[in-house]
């Protein structure tokens, strides 16, 4: 009655279990996503123009939204490349240390 169920022991991750870095999101993908987002903003503006006829403030809003999305995409693209290069350098250093 008082026996506890023992959980199976989990193996510690070894060097062979380390995952390789994910492939980077391609530049073409960023361009396609930005094109889709800008098209979405343009469609929204056209629909709102058809509904309200006066969309001066909304033009500013959607332009700022599109520019913000584009800037974040540029930031993400450069950040991914920088971090990826640094992780490759760390892996090379770790491999050299393991060989010694």
Residue 84 domain-assigned? yes
Residue 51 domain-assigned? yes
Distance of CA 86 to the CA centre of its chain: 17
Q: Which of the two residues, 76 and 56, has the higher pLDDT score?
A: 76
Q: CA-to-CA distance for 40 and 79, rounded, in angstroms?
A: 26
> Which tens digit of pLDDT belongs to each residue from 2-41?
566 666 656 555 555 556 667 889 999 999 999 999 999 9
The residue segments making up the domain with residue 88 are 25-99
According to the model, what pLDDT value does residue 14 have? 54
Q: CA-to-CA distance for 65 and 70, rounded, in angstroms?
A: 9
According to the model, what pLDDT value does residue 74 have? 97
- pTM exceeds 0.95 for this model: no
Give me the number of domains the chain comprises: 1
Quickly tell me which residue has 């492939």 as its tokens.
Answer: 23
Tokens of 30: 């960023």
């Amino acid at each position: 009655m008082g026996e506890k169920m023992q959980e199976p022991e989990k193996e510690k991750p070894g060097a062979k279990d380390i995952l390789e870095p994910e492939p980077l999101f391609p530049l073409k993908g960023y361009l396609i996503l930005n094109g889709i987002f800008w098209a979405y903003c343009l469609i929204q503006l056209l629909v709102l123009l058809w509904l309200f006829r006066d969309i001066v403030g909304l033009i500013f809003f959607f332009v700022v939204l599109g520019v913000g999305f584009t800037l974040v995409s540029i930031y993400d693209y450069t950040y991914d490349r920088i971090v990826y290069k640094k992780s490759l350098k760390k892996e090379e250093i770790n491999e050299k240390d393991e060989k010694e």
